[in-house]
Amino acid sequence: MEQNYSGESRVQEERISTESTPCSSHTVDFKIICNKQKHDVTFSLNDTVLSLKQHIQTLTGLPPSMQKVMYKGLARDESSLREVGVTDGAKLMVVGSTLKDVYSVSTPNYIQVTEERLPLIDIEFEPLSRQKMHRKVLDKGLPDDLLPGFIHEKSYLPSFPLSGLLNKSGEKVRITFKMELDQMWISSKGRTDKVRMGSIQNMISEPIEGSEAYSVVAFQLGPSQASRYWLYWVPSQYVEAIKDAVLGSWNFC
């Protein structure tokens, strides 16, 4: 009898210990920032980003499929908040659009993309940095104010502008990511074009032969290949983060 009593006591003590463990040890308090609005959220660290998106829908009205949750880069739907690294007091950025907004998107009228006659011969298998249309820019050499580039590294989306880049005309530009506005700003001397990231239909990139620490990048702003906005000498370590930011989970191509 004494042995049974001891066993039952241990079970009861374990049950009490488990029940008395505060659930806060498995939850985290943080802020959701969406369209300049802040929302206080308490969520389980074991829940997925998709579950968080479903909760965000109740706060903002944005469908989960139209949301991008950004925290040290794009947060994947299948990842738990613990895996993403969310901590108490963290600020998660959410950008997105309603279905009505998405269907109303057309080619941006605030940035001009020249429609060019494409050659009849398909040259897509030739590396971008060898193609004549790109060589005329790359042959100018590295811009003097270019940011350092690194091979085989991946960095988070920078909070500062990427400067020293060249556009298709060989003009110096810089790009800035305004996640709270869902916009990418492309600035040249005396002009800034504000591209809504939800309107970017695709993005291609390729390291520059002989200078693999930098890449050629193009954002497709219209339905055809001729609607690509080209950028040269983009530091390669930022390419994947840029792709996550501008496309995320809603690439409609």
3-state class (DSSP) for residue 38: strand
Please check whether residues 84 and 44 belong to one and the same domain: yes
φ, ψ for residue 44, nearest 5 deg: -75, 135
| pTM summary value | 0.58
Q: Is 57 left (phi over 0), alpha (psi -120 to 50) or beta?
A: alpha
The answer on 132 and 43 residing in a single domain is: no
- Token pair 């792709």 in the structure block, residue: 243
Does residue 159 sit in the same domain as residue 242? yes
Q: Count structural domains, the chain.
A: 2
Q: Which structural domain, as residue segments, surrounds residue 27? A: 2-97
Residue 107 counted as domain residue: no
CATH of residue 228: 2.30.29
CA 21-25-28 angle, to 5 degrees, is 145
Q: Confirm whether 253 is domain-assigned.
A: no
Identify whether 104 is part of a domain. no
The answer to whether residues 147 and 216 belong to one domain is: yes
CATH number at residue 67: 3.10.20.90
Same domain for 136 and 61, yes or no, is no
Q: Within this chain, do residues 156 and 58 fall inside the same structural domain, yes or no?
A: no
Same domain (yes/no): 132, 242: yes
Q: What is the reported pLDDT for 238?
A: 93
Same domain as 90, residue 153: no
Q: Please give the pLDDT value at position 81.
A: 93
What tens-digit pLDDT sequence spans the chain (253 residues)?
Answer: 444 545 555 545 544 444 444 444 588 999 998 877 889 999 999 999 999 999 998 888 888 888 888 887 788 889 999 999 999 999 898 887 655 554 444 444 445 554 444 444 444 568 899 999 999 999 988 888 889 999 988 888 888 899 999 999 999 999 998 887 888 999 988 899 998 887 888 899 999 999 999 999 999 988 777 789 999 999 999 999 898 888 764 333 3
Looking at residue 218, what is its pLDDT? Answer: 94
Number of Cβ atoms within 10 Å of the Cβ of 139: 8
Q: What is the pLDDT of residue 215?
A: 96
At a CB cut-off of 8 Å and minimum separation 6, what does 17 contact?
none
Let me know whether 142 and 236 are in one domain.
yes
Say if residue 17 is in the same domain as residue 90: yes
